Amino acid sequence: VVLSDTAKKGQAPVLGEVPATKFYIAPLEDRIDHPSYVGDKKKGEATVNIYECFELFSYPEILDQNNMWYCGNCKAQVQATKKLEMFRLPPILIVQLKRFKTSEGTILRNERINTLVDFPLVNLDLRKYTINPHQPEPVYDLYAISNHRGGAGFGHYTAYVKNMRKIKWYSFDDSKVEPIEESKVC
């Protein structure tokens, strides 16, 4: 998912001209009982809102016995809490959603996470998720999505990209490019 704050100004965002930042977000992963879950748990159908993904991204995590932290003061491995926070967001934001997880009791076997992520095409407001009081308004418009179909070791990529001059979405699939309705994008 590629978002840009320049899209509102009618400019075509170019990754080579502006520094981009990439965030890795795991939507719900093992938190299937989270109140945001909607769908049939037996079929693995679920929907989560992108804002809830950002909530989980910044949720404090207690490191377990297998992931202890070395404390320089007491010179010992200790159980600690880790929290990720965003201080400053860039003009172009790339969000990578975690789509695979390792199954319990297996080695090198990944399961696909089929949780659908609902997100706005315009005005993704991330003010609530930045801790910098001087951050310019981090409000983004979506202009590209990379789609993957298949498993962890194989699959096929396609993309949806918005032409900022024509204000129209296109589907890219190998050498095939065709217009797509905005409602099909998300």
pLDDT score for 104: 65
Non-local CB neighbours of 90 within 8 Å, separated by 6+ positions: 18, 19, 20, 21
| Burial category of 165 from C-beta neighbours within 10 Å (exposed 0-12, middle 13-18, buried 19 and up) | exposed
3-state SS class at 40: coil
For residue 37, what pLDDT is reported?
38
d(CA 17, CA 30): 38
Q: What whole-number distance in Å separates Cα of residue 17 and Cα of residue 158? A: 24
Helix (H) or strand (E) holding 51: helix 50-57
Average pLDDT for 21-34: 41
**Per-residue buried b or exposed e for 53-62, using 16+ beta carbons within 10 Å of the residue's own CB:** bbbbbbeeee
Better-scored residue on pLDDT, 53 or 99: 53
- What stretch of H or E contains 144? strand 139-149
| pLDDT greater at residue 40 or residue 140 | 140
DSSP string, 24-35: EE--STT-TTST
Q: Which residues of 108-136 are buried (b: 16+ CB within 10 A; e: fewer)?
A: eeeeebebebebebeebebeebbeeeeee
pLDDT in tens, 68-100: 888 889 899 988 888 888 888 888 988 887 776
Mean pLDDT of 3-18: 47
| pLDDT tens readout for residues 94-151 | 888 777 676 666 566 677 777 788 889 999 999 888 888 888 889 999 999 888 887 7
Distance of alpha carbon 73 from alpha carbon 168, whole angstroms: 57
What pLDDT does 2 receive?
A: 53
